[in-house]
Structure 1
């Protein structure tokens, strides 16, 4: 696994392990809100119809997501549905698909590929990795409403070569796949990335797995990533004349950094709107986005279960039949207490315990609270040889 996937795992884990921001209010401003509700920075709910009216003249609508949060994807599907129903004629830009796969999306747009056939044609599991089932509602709406799909990302193999060799050492054919101009991040984002990279390096050193990646390469790859998606989105908008709804990780959207800052530089007259997930606890941070949607912290594990972070801890919401989680005895309603023999405080604990179990070639031990009783479970990870953890 290269630096970017590893860094992404840590980012997602830390987000679920500890939420930064202002001190918690005495009462949760999200109390009483239905999951998926659109809100203002003051936490005031907004109907989908009202949102569509405000988005009527938008050129780019960026929806930041947590890739493993099913609620985030349900909101994306709802927003896409209402925009299409109000005759805004949006098109959909996808971080999840590299530009080289656009011919596959063209077949989907032409009705020659079904929603069920799409993941195999895209080699989804290899190229993206997160469960297709999370994104399927979005693709179903696109198919039903006639919303065309466009690939925005760059191939992982190209980023891997940048990481290993730098721009100077790249093979010409791969260098040609990079954006002609690579835009640097705005200064506030640069400072945040420096702090993030330093923190990750310290974590890896503590684990005995310090990476050989440099800060300069990390910055370069982030810049390529954001520049590529902004460049593709701008091209799609110019070619279609339609508003482009961009689905991407929250880190590419928040604070008008990432993709947003590049679009502002290249298309300064465009109307750009950002929407990201709000997890409750404190009011949304007004500077982070234009609008928000309420979805509690949630993670769909590759072990075959979904958990949601609640005040009492991490509650198992669903368990996929036949999965490693199901075979190990995990049940819906279980509250995670310990993983790998250590108290569970956040997603990073789950990831660390899974890595330790795989390296030791032993099952991962989990303790849950079930109907008031403590239950010990053993999950066999060796069948797939993979660890758990989200990305970006």
Structure 2
């Protein structure tokens, strides 16, 4: 396996993680793989991603929102929004309006598209199974055969509880963490495949939680291929209390939406 890297990999990273303005996303450091996080239904986050993609000029785009089968349907020439929406069967996917995502495709119309998504049915089937039994790639390469440190397991279960409005039975939380690890590994695996096939740079579109440097897909990718230059950008709707685990992060206005916890009351 051959990679197109240079000694610049040793010096590409920012000197320290920092919050940046949305306008600065068009001037990111050079990297082999750039994770662009999002809150999925926030239009400003997608506008920022499109601006970054135009500046980066990626050879490949990896989407959490597409599985491998959907990505395989991408034609050589980018169709219009309505045609691509139908081709990808987007309306059945459960993701927000395709009008939010189409500008990301059109920002790099020549980029090869890779799918890293875990379909809901597959996620349900994977609950309670060992990760190395359900991951289709090299589970060891991405750390899926090892238990998490106890402190990280605790923190991740707490995050899952909050993300589900503290409404999940406690016994389900370890399985939810496992599914997140599986999704992270699928993103890292697809990114590695993309940079191997195309030479990079590769942009990964995913939720900000999956773009974490400490335990998310960027961390798994770095474990698998330490020579890769990996950059992570998180996007938030409120200023985080603590320094986020990203190279850069952006804070935007929140997108108006119904209270997601209302359904649990």
TM-score normalised by length of structure 1: 0.55
**What are the Cα deviations for residues 309-339 of structure 1, in whole angstroms up to 9, with x where unaligned?**
xxxxxxxxxxxxxxxxxxxxxxxxxxxxxxx
Given that 1:68 and 1:299 are in contact with CA atoms closer than 8 Å, whether structure 2 keeps it comes out as no
Q: Deviation of residue 219 (structure 1)?
A: 2.5
Aligned Cα RMSD in Å? Answer: 3.0
Higher mean C-alpha deviation, range 232-241 or range 123-132: 123-132
2:77 aligned with 1:111: yes
CA gap of 1:126–1:186, structure 2 versus 1, over 3 A, is same
Partners of 1:67 and 1:240 lie apart in 2 by 27
Larger Rg: 1
Given that 2:21 and 2:250 are in contact with CA atoms closer than 8 Å, whether structure 1 keeps it comes out as no
**What are the Cα deviations for residues 104-148 of structure 1, in whole angstroms up to 9, with x where unaligned?**
12x1xx0163332111111112224311111122122222xx222
Partners of 1:176 and 1:221 lie apart in 2 by 10
Q: Which has the higher contact order (CA 8 A, sep 6+)?
A: 2
CA gap of 1:200–1:156, structure 2 versus 1, over 3 A, is closer
Report what 1:236 is aligned to: 194
Q: Deviation of residue 222 (structure 1)?
A: 1.5
> Superposition pairs for residues 1-392 of structure 1, below 5 Å?
41=18, 47=24, 51-52=27-28, 54-55=29-30, 58-84=31-57, 89-105=58-74, 107=75, 110-111=76-77, 113-143=79-109, 146-163=110-127, 166-167=129-130, 178-181=136-139, 183-184=143-144, 187=149, 189-199=152-162, 203-204=166-167, 211=169, 214-279=172-237, 281=239, 285-299=242-256, 347-348=259-260, 351-352=261-262
Q: Deviation of residue 73 (structure 1)?
A: 0.2
CA gap of 1:213–1:98, structure 2 versus 1, over 3 A, is farther
Please state whether the residue corresponding to 2:218 is helix, strand or coil.
helix
Q: Deviation of residue 270 (structure 1)?
A: 0.9
CA gap of 1:142–1:116, structure 2 versus 1, over 3 A, is farther
Partners of 1:129 and 1:279 lie apart in 2 by 19
Please state whether the residue corresponding to 1:298 is helix, strand or coil.
coil
**What are the Cα deviations for residues 264-284 of structure 1, in whole angstroms up to 9, with x where unaligned?**
1101111111111144557x8
**What are the Cα deviations for residues 223-277 of structure 1, in whole angstroms up to 9, with x where unaligned?**
2111111111101111111111101001101243210111011011111111111
More strand by share: 1
Partners of 1:286 and 1:199 lie apart in 2 by 19
Report what 2:4 is aligned to: none
**Stretches of structure 2 lacking an aligned partner (at least 5 in a row):** 1-16
TM-score normalised by length of structure 2: 0.78
Partners of 1:241 and 1:116 lie apart in 2 by 30
CA gap of 1:68–1:287, structure 2 versus 1, over 3 A, is closer
Report what 1:322 is aligned to: none
Partners of 1:240 and 1:67 lie apart in 2 by 27
Please state whether the residue corresponding to 1:249 is helix, strand or coil.
coil
Please state whether the residue corresponding to 2:108 is helix, strand or coil.
helix
Partners of 1:115 and 1:100 lie apart in 2 by 19
Given that 1:254 and 1:288 are in contact with CA atoms closer than 8 Å, whether structure 2 keeps it comes out as yes
CA gap of 1:211–1:113, structure 2 versus 1, over 3 A, is farther
CA gap of 1:215–1:92, structure 2 versus 1, over 3 A, is same
Report what 1:371 is aligned to: none
**Stretches of structure 1 lacking an aligned partner (at least 5 in a row):** 1-39, 169-174, 205-209, 302-346, 357-392
Partners of 1:299 and 1:140 lie apart in 2 by 26
Aligned pair count reads: 243
Partners of 1:278 and 1:215 lie apart in 2 by 24
Please state whether the residue corresponding to 1:228 is helix, strand or coil.
helix
